[in-house]
Structure 1
Amino acid sequence: MAARLDRLPILRTHRVLTAVIGIGLFFDAYENFLAGTIAKVLQKDFALGGTELKLVLASAFIGQFLGAIVLGRLADRIGRRRAFLINLAIYSGFSLLGALSPNATWLIVSRFCAGLGIGAEYALADSYLSDMLPPGKRGRFISWAYTVSFCGVPAVGFLALWLVPQAPLGIAGWRWLFVLGALGSAVVWFLRRRLTESPRWLEIAGRQAQAEEIVTRMEAEAADPLPEPDPDLRPAEPQAVPISRLFSPRYLRRTVMLWVLSALEVFGYYGFGTLAPLILAARGYGIIASIGYTALSYLGYPLGSLLSVPIVERVERKYLVMGSAALMAVFGLGFGLSGQPAVIVAFGFLYTLASNVFSNAYHVYLSELYPTAMRGTAAGTAYSLSKIVTGALPFILLPVLTSGGAGWVFTVVAVAMVLLIINVGVLGTRTTGRSVDSVT
């Protein structure tokens, strides 16, 4: 199946599944940046103390830590499509409950439970797209999916700017933000019911006839004669891979590299998204001004993702990860040390632009490092590590902000990015343009 899938051109099926996955990722990005964007509003409405505010910011990511492990592993056992439906159903239900929160405890618990559902979204999306897309176009189409997804970040910023000062139908504006996320993900649930299962996963699950039917149907879509399949890619044997395989001699180096990368990247990526409004508020800007400046900075997220589309197949993944991380370190220091609003927004925009070139390269790179039988497990464990570190970020960076100011926050971020660059440079392997079943 691998050889037959890899020889396919880009088909309508590829475009549809990329769009559906991208729309689902939109609500993942929306959710991940929601609490940070309205943190000051929640702090005021619920009279949150320092510890409670940290728990509100961290709760969804702690839930995502567990969700990524469990559902990432489940995707290798029951299939990508069924795991997709489970994770979206959990997220949609508990996000709606979060909108009804009467107190901080309810909000923290509902955010944690919503995180359980959405925690596996990145792992499942990366695994599924890598299974389905041909190697020469894989990076570009994964980047397109994430370009759709990262529109969710400025969307939550500008929706917050519009809704927070209002109370439509007598309901606080921030509650509507949760409702919109829940309803949107429910719509995506119905769209994903029509997705085809991964033929690569069906093959290793021993469901050869179903895999054959799907691949034959995709081959029939191709307008031109197809080249012969690569004879070096042999059919996959049905197998259940234990999680301990991640630490076997064959995969240990890349597992160490990926776990260190996943732990450090959140300082740069979520460090900004989670704390930017609080950093601006600490400098004396009002709630609405802080949200407005943050929303303008968030425009760099989809544009940075779009920028990655033409370059992700031209630059080796590991070097693109390293170069964009270096830019995040530089622009982050500029954001932390700037004093004028226009300069703050400019550095914020450049930071988010670079961070989504980084993010797309990271997601593509992660999805290419392991074979089909263990891809969901490997991605899920890596993402779970990133989520638990993200959950710890408020407890690490908020004290730094309080005691040292924004400059020191982004100094910590810059140090993390330098360590990330060293890690990928020394331990990372090349993957660009190769079949996901030949890289390993």
Structure 2
Amino acid sequence: MTDTAVTGAFTAARLDRLPASRWHRKITLIVGIGSFFDLYEVFLGGVLGAALAERWQLGHTAKAWVIAAAFLGMFVGANVLSVLADRVGRRRMFLVNLGAYAGCSLLCAFAPDLPWLLALRFLSGIGLGAELVLVDTYLAEFLPRAVRGRYIAWAYTLGFLGVPVVALLGARLVAAHQVLGVDGWRWLLVAGGLGAAFLQLMRRRLPESPRWLMVQGRDREAERIVADIEARVAHETGGSLPLVPAAGTPPERKVPLGALLRGDHRRRTVMWCVFQVLQTVGYYGFGSLAPVVLTAKGHTVTDSLLYAALGFCGYPIGSALSVPLIDRIERRTLIAAAALAIAACGLVFGLADAPWLIVGSGFALTLCSNVFSNAFHVYQTEIFPTGLRSSAIGIAYSLSRLTSVVLPFLALSVLARFGAVAVFAGSAVLMVLLCLDVVLLGPRSTGRSLERI
């Protein structure tokens, strides 16, 4: 092992052995709030589709484009910005993506017609394309392995508050039609843009990932950041830090992108790409289509948004529920169990017509969805090396966004021809295939260092 490799392994071991501290909780909070805006924007599409259908006389295709436009932008952003994050740094791309989203979201609020709305939603999506990829990558590279799962789960619990927020705000603002002389749905876009702009100011003080710096050969910068973190943690915990264990596997130096399709990485890359395509239907399909499905069943737009909002309350609760589970149960086992529960709850939601059953099954589905989501977000950070982590996650994640572009067109066509039950039955079949993919091809990861995995 070379001197630089030994240094890299030692740096990773120093980060992993730190006790959880207020500093770790602070970066989890700042980074986690960013996922709020990504998820707010994802589920905003379904609210806008339902709200504008009558106002702008939208047909099935136009409603599908309202939902799909942001996802198409996210597909582009995930491919471009996540790869750039492996080249120019995690912190820099954090600032680029939020700044682009904030500006485009504010412009979107002033869209005079459907073409302008779709174009600006697409640009907003590019800005957010790598947000969740960067949240996962950045936190995984800083957090000690003993709390990595729990803290990333807490970050997403903050983020998933955005889902009921957008639905509840949507129900109120759509019902009000106008606030201060401005259409209610436009205020939803203003809120997202201003919130992201404020968060960008908070993120300017975040340090760069020492693991990424080591991969780039910038050892002195990495050493300075790690030493500063150790000093902060020692001060906060009021005692001496644990001894650094014997260094294990070092982080790799710069790795070409083509390595994802060679050797051990190929199996994981194929497994994760298949996973991301399948999970989109079960996970994002419900959140983005629920208001449209309910209006198709004959419920009013206001009632549909209210029922969806109440069901969406399961998202943050499910995310919080995952915290005590995520470091105790092997990741891939937890992913598979939650996916099967999503499939079952989706079938009940598709059959439900009574308001109590719609809300109850929707709540159960979203609760299971975020046990599933948090488990897979942690898992994907662990199965790829530091030099390729952001690129690998981003490229696979972009496939989920591309699937999300196609999904509204297919799902709304199936909904119009065969009804809600057919939509959720198809989703259930795909979730079973997802379970087989992860259990048969995915490696174990719980409790292991990133370098060892």
Alpha-carbon deviation of 1:226? 2.9
Report how many residues are paired.
438
- Residue 51 of structure 1 and its aligned partner are, at CA, apart by 2.0
Residues 186-220 of structure 1: CA distance to partner in whole angstroms, max 9, x if unpaired?
01100100111111111111211111111111112
Tell me the distance in 2 between the aligned counterparts of 1:179 and 1:408.
36
Q: Measure the CA separation in 1 of the matches of 2:414 and 2:450.
A: 41
User: Structure 2 CA distance, aligned partners of 1:85 and 1:379?
Assistant: 19
Equivalent residue in structure 2 for 1:142, among 134, 152, 159: 152
Q: Which residue of 2 aligns with 1:21?
A: 31
Rounded Cα–Cα distance in structure 2 between residues aligned with 1:50 and 1:155: 26
Instruction: State the shift of 1:45 in Å.
Output: 2.1
The amino acid across from 2:241 in the alignment is L
The one-letter code sitting in structure 2 at the alignment partner of 1:233 is: G
Structure 2 residue matching 1:310: 3-state secondary structure? helix
Question: 2:53 — aligned with what?
Answer: 43
In 2, the alpha carbon distance for the partners of 1:11 and 1:332 equals 39
Counterpart secondary structure, 1:250: helix
Q: Distance in 2 between matches of 1:431 and 1:233?
A: 16
Per-residue CA deviation, residues 298-353 of structure 1 (Å, 9 max, x unaligned), is 00000000000011000000000000000000000000011211011100000000
Deviates more, 1:376-385 or 1:144-153: 376-385
5 Å-filtered alignment, 1:398-437, equals 398-437=412-451
Aligned counterparts of 1:402 and 1:49: Cα–Cα separation in 2: 11
* CA displacement at 1:425 relative to structure 2: 1.1
1:219 aligns with 2:230: yes
Within the candidate set 193, 201, 212, 2:204 is matched to 193
Supply the AA of the counterpart residue of 1:226: L
User: CA-to-partner distance for each residue in 1:100-122, whole Å, 9 max, x for gaps?
Assistant: 11110000000000000101001
For the residue of structure 2 that corresponds to 1:8, the secondary structure is: coil
Residue 413 of structure 1: CA displacement? 0.7
User: What residue is the counterpart of 2:337 in the other structure?
Assistant: 323
1:168 shift after superposition? 1.1
Q: Distance in 2 between matches of 1:123 and 1:6?
A: 21
Q: CA deviation at 1:371?
A: 1.3
Aligned equivalent of 1:204:
215
Amino acid at match of 2:197: A
Partners of 2:314 and 2:367 within 8 A in 1 = yes
What root-mean-square deviation, in Å, do the aligned CA atoms of Structure 1 and Structure 2 show? Answer: 1.1
Q: How do 1:287-302 and structure 2 match up within 5 A?
A: 287-302=301-316
Structure 1: unaligned runs, 5 residues or longer: none
Deviations 1:399-440 (A, max 9, x none): 11011101001001101100001111110110001111110x
Matched to 1:58, the amino acid is A
Contact 1:72–1:120 under 8 Å retained in 2: yes
Structure 2 unmatched runs, 5+:
1-10
Counting only pairs closer than 5 Å after superposition, residues 356-395 of structure 1 correspond to structure 2 as 356-395=370-409
Q: SS where residue 263 of structure 2 aligns? A: coil
Q: Return the alpha-carbon distance in structure 2 between the equivalents of residues 245 and 234 of structure 1.
A: 18
Amino-acid identity (%): 50
Is 1:48–1:104's contact at 8 Å kept on the other side of the alignment? Answer: no
Alignment of 1:257-268 (within 5 A): 257-268=271-282
Q: Deviations over 1:59-95 (max 9, x none)?
A: 1001100100111101111110000000001111111
Task: Report the counterpart of residue 341 of structure 1 in structure 2.
Answer: 355
| TM-score between both structures, scaled by the size of structure 1 | 0.98
State TM-score, norm by structure 2: 0.95
Distance 1:108 1:234 in 2: 47
Q: Is the 8 A contact 2:251 2:451 kept in 1?
A: no
Q: Please give the alpha-carbon distance, in whole angstroms, between the structure 2 residues aligned to 1:318 and 1:53.
A: 35
- How many angstroms apart in 1 are the aligned matches of 2:417 and 2:34? 39
Secondary structure of 1:3's aligned partner = helix
**In 2, are the aligned partners of 1:371 and 1:437 still within 8 Å (CA)?**
yes
Alignment partner of 1:203: what SS?
Answer: helix
Which SS does the other structure have where 2:146 is aligned? coil
CA distance, structure 2, for counterparts of residue 345 and residue 38 of structure 1: 20
Distance in structure 1 (CA, Å) of the matches to 2:426 and 2:247 = 46
Q: Deviations over 1:116-146 (max 9, x none)?
A: 0101001111000110001110000000000
Which residue of structure 2 lines up, in the alignment, with residue 180 of structure 1?
Answer: 191
Could you tell me whether the CA contact under 8 Å between 2:331 and 2:445 is conserved in 1? Answer: yes
Amino acid at match of 1:126: D
- Kindly indicate whether the alpha-carbon contact (under 8 Å) linking 2:49 and 2:64 is maintained by their aligned counterparts in 1: no
CA distance in 1, matches of 2:436, 2:240: 45
Q: Does the aligned pair in 2 maintain the 1:6–1:135 contact within 8 Å?
A: yes
